[in-house]
Amino acid sequence: MTGARRSPSQPAATPLRVALIASARHPIAEPFAGGLEAHTWTLSTALRARGHEVAVFAGPGSDPALGAVEMPLRAPWISEGARRDKSMVAASWLEEHHAYLQLMLDLSREPGRYDIVHNNSLHYLPVAMAPALPVPVVTTLHTPPTPWIESAIQAAPHCPVHFSAVSDHTAAAWRHVVPAATVVRNGIDTKRWHPGPGGEELVWSGRIVPEKGTHLAIEAAQLSGRGLRIAGPVGDSEYFEACIRPRLNRTITYTGHLHQPDLCELVGSSAAAVVTPCWDEPYGLVVAEALACGTPVCGFARGALPEIITQDCGRLAAPGDCAELAKAVEPTIGLSRADARRHAEAFCSMDVMTRSYERFYRMVSP
């Protein structure tokens, strides 16, 4: 006898109590500072929808709907004598250090409050202090290896943290210190990122910083003869003023840092999305967002992009080769928008990601 089919929002087993550690520096609120903040918002919302109890520990100004527990960034008073010490670090470093330190101490004093602690931040202290917690600690690897987290993994004779990675590429990059990270790819809400009609212009979205290669997207668009609309927060003002603003004109436009509904409309009304990383992108959330909008992707074959983009939904060019990328534009535009959307639903949706995290949580829980 076949049982009733379970809704994607219906939990598969006993609900879990999850402490989700987010960024202390950037609020988990729209418009998001970056992909990490968007991912945290999506994951916490999806886990709640499936019946789990989720406490989000995040920076000031986070979305009130999350009911986030604020990690206050208090600037410690440092004497003039101490400031003259050559080892003095930036005030922002001290603020974040003490915010995470206090949080980990608080969690260590609540042995029965949570079933699992998920560190979704980029900070080293949740890793270094994991042995002090009475419940399993999960850390998602969102970036290439960093010295702070590598050292935190080695702080205790045995690191008790259970690691996930956002892509096969990222898992491989950490393998020298994390031999067996479980790959759980980032997902996006395919209801909020809905298909659009397409259009004539190209789109580039993301943080406007050198490593994201906005200037290369402009060059490729100009070589292809297509217009380009750019959206995202300016993460490096010097780069924007020197490399982006002088090249803006009637066909190359900057639309600003958009809220999700407006960004969805922009991406969905574009012919193709251009993704131009100048580093090994650990995942590439903008790729998933574009595909969910039915917008095929042409980009550089760096980092995790070859894992996400298939011949049905995009084309890849050699890293940094704007001429090859420009030649890929028209073949990309000719791809089926319905196929792009189907790939997003099957490979990088919020439901797929959330079910994978549920399995991971239960696997590491006693």
Query: What is the 3-state composition of the chain as percent helix, strand, coil, each rounded to the nearest 5?
Result: 40, 15, 45
pTM of the model: 0.90
- Chain centroid offset of residue 203 CA: 19
| Separation between Cα atoms, residue 213 and residue 204, nearest integer Å | 10
Structure tokens belonging to residue 232 = 């995202």
pLDDT of residue 87: 85
Element (H, E) at 130: none
Q: pLDDT tens digits for 308-366? A: 999 999 999 999 999 999 999 999 999 999 999 999 999 999 999 999 999 999 999 87
Beta pairing class for 182-183 and 162-165 = parallel
Residue bearing tokens 């020298």: 176
- Range 127-154 average pLDDT: 96
| CATH 3.40.50.2000 residue ranges for the chain | 17-78+89-187+349-364, 202-347
| Separation between Cα atoms, residue 326 and residue 329, nearest integer Å | 5
The side-by-side arrangement of strands in the sheet containing 17-21 is 69-70, 53-58, 17-21, 116-119, 137-141, 162-165, 182-183
pLDDT of residue 12: 52
Q: pLDDT tens digits for 93-128? A: 889 999 999 999 999 999 889 999 999 999 999 999
How many C-beta neighbours within 10 Å does residue 6 have?
10
CATH architecture, domain 17-78+89-187+349-364 = 3-Layer(aba) Sandwich (3.40)
- pLDDT over threshold 50, residue 5: no
How many C-beta neighbours within 10 Å does residue 79 have?
8
Element (H, E) at 189: none
3: confidence class by pLDDT, cuts 50, 70, 90: very low
Cβ 196 vs Cβ 219: under 8 Å: no
| Separation between Cα atoms, residue 119 and residue 127, nearest integer Å | 8
Mean pLDDT score across all residues of the chain:
93
- The fold of 202-347 is Rossmann fold (3.40.50)
